[in-house]
Each structure stands twice: as structure tokens, then as C-alpha cells.
Amino acid sequence: MSLDLPTIVGANLFGSPDAGAGAALSPELIPLTTLNVVLTGVMVYGNDSFAFLSVNGGPEEPVAIGQEVTGGATLYSVHPDRAILQRGGGFEAAVLRDSDSKLPAGAIMSGAGPTVVRPEALRSPQVLSQAHIVPNSGGGFLVRTIQAGSIYEKLGLRAGDVIRSINGQTVNNMEDVLRIYRETGANLNQPMQVTLDVMRAGKPEQLQFQMN
């Protein structure tokens, strides 16, 4: 499962490898990569951001900033609709697949039974902008704001909640989130129960849903 993290609006500027010192390029102007890399999702959170990438037709993997992707290219930065790679002193971009499309039908289903969420829903740009969740000074992740009618509201989260653990595993930073995703990623093609332990107004609460 991927926790939603805040999408940072606006783009950083990067020095152009073909221009003089101090020159800059908007991420939208950086040429597309020629590597066989497909960007399937993003988690944008400053230097702790990571991208979901499929390399050479392989399964998608979360890649952190500074980590090698393939062919000598490393992940340089992550934006709401693209990831910037650095290779051989230059920059190239992988653009989010279907970044302009709406969330697919059936991304989340609620009924008499447990809420069912499709894994791709939790890493889509449309969903990532629906809540603002940040590391909490006392541990866990604080849900600062949630859009009315969003997936997070349907999952039972409320503004002010502090998410302390996912399936019994403590989450205090993005490294914890990334570790849990990697540990559970191999099982995302199978139905999986997800339990969130949260603190709400000083009292423990437990939220459950199914990834399918």
C-alpha cells in the first residue's frame, strides 16, 4: 500500500547541461528519456520523494531520489506528472503514463463489506492531491487536510488523524513507507487486507480496507 503524501505544486528549476553556469530549464522543457523506462506513479515529498518505474518491461519498482534507475541514469527529482533522470551530465524526463486521464472507474468500491481499493489508485496524481499528510513530530504521519468525498475520506481517515502503523509496521518517515511498499509489492496482484492504526483525538482507532 502506498500512503498518500502531499503533491508539491510548482516545479523546481534545474541547470541545463548544454548552457552556461546558472542557466535553468523548467522540467516541462527537459527532453524525454530514450531509456526504456515507464513512469507509473509518484510520491512527491521534497528530497524524500520517489517514483514508481518499470525498466525494460519489468515490474514497477519504487525508486528514491539519488538511486540508480538503469544505464547509468539516476533519479534526480520527482514532480506531480514526471520524474527527472540525470545521465552523463544531462537531464531527461519520464512523463507519468496517462497523467491527464481521470481516475479509472472502480478505483475504489464501498458497500456492505470492506472497502476495496485498486493499488494504482493510491499513487495516481488525482488521488495524491486529495489530502495533505506529513510526518508527525511525535511519530507517525499527521493527516492535515482531506478533500470532502476523496478516497481517504471513504477509507475512514479524518483531518487530525495520526497514522502510526500499517499492518502492524510502524511508519515514521518515507523510508518506512518505501520499505513497506517493497515488502508488500509482490503481493499486490492478490487481494490483501490493509490495517491502519491511527490516533484520533488521543484515542486509538483501527481502519481496514482491501487492496485488490
At 187, is the pLDDT very low, low, confident or very high (cuts 50, 70, 90)?
A: low
Give the DSSP letter string of 85-144.
Answer: EEETTEEEEEEBTTTTSPPPTTSEE-SSS--EE-GGGGGSHHHHTTEEEEE-TTSSEEEE
Structural domains of the chain sorted by starting position, each given as residue range(s) with its CATH number in brackets: 14-95 (2.30.30.830), 108-211 (2.30.42.10)
Q: pLDDT tens across 63-82, in order?
A: 889 999 998 999 999 887 88
Q: Which of 114-123, 126-135, 153-162, 171-180 has the lowest mean pLDDT?
A: 114-123
Report for 6-20, 113-127, 179-193: range of highest mean pLDDT: 179-193
Each residue's pLDDT tens digit, 111-131: 445 566 665 666 565 666 677
Average pLDDT over residues 142-163: 88
Q: What does the pLDDT read at residue 128? A: 64
The overall average pLDDT reported for the chain is 75
**Rounded to an integer, what distance in angstroms lies between the CA atom of residue 143 and that of residue 198?**
10
pLDDT for residue 108 is more than 60: no
Looking at residue 164, what is its pLDDT? 94
Pairwise CA distance, residues 127 & 150, whole Å? 8
Can you give the pLDDT at residue 21? 30
Per-residue pLDDT band for 34 (boundaries 50, 70, 90) equals very high
pLDDT of residue 19: 35
Who's near 103: CB < 8 A, 6+ residues apart?
A: 121, 124, 126, 127
- Lowest-pLDDT choice from 51-55, 76-80, 98-102: 98-102
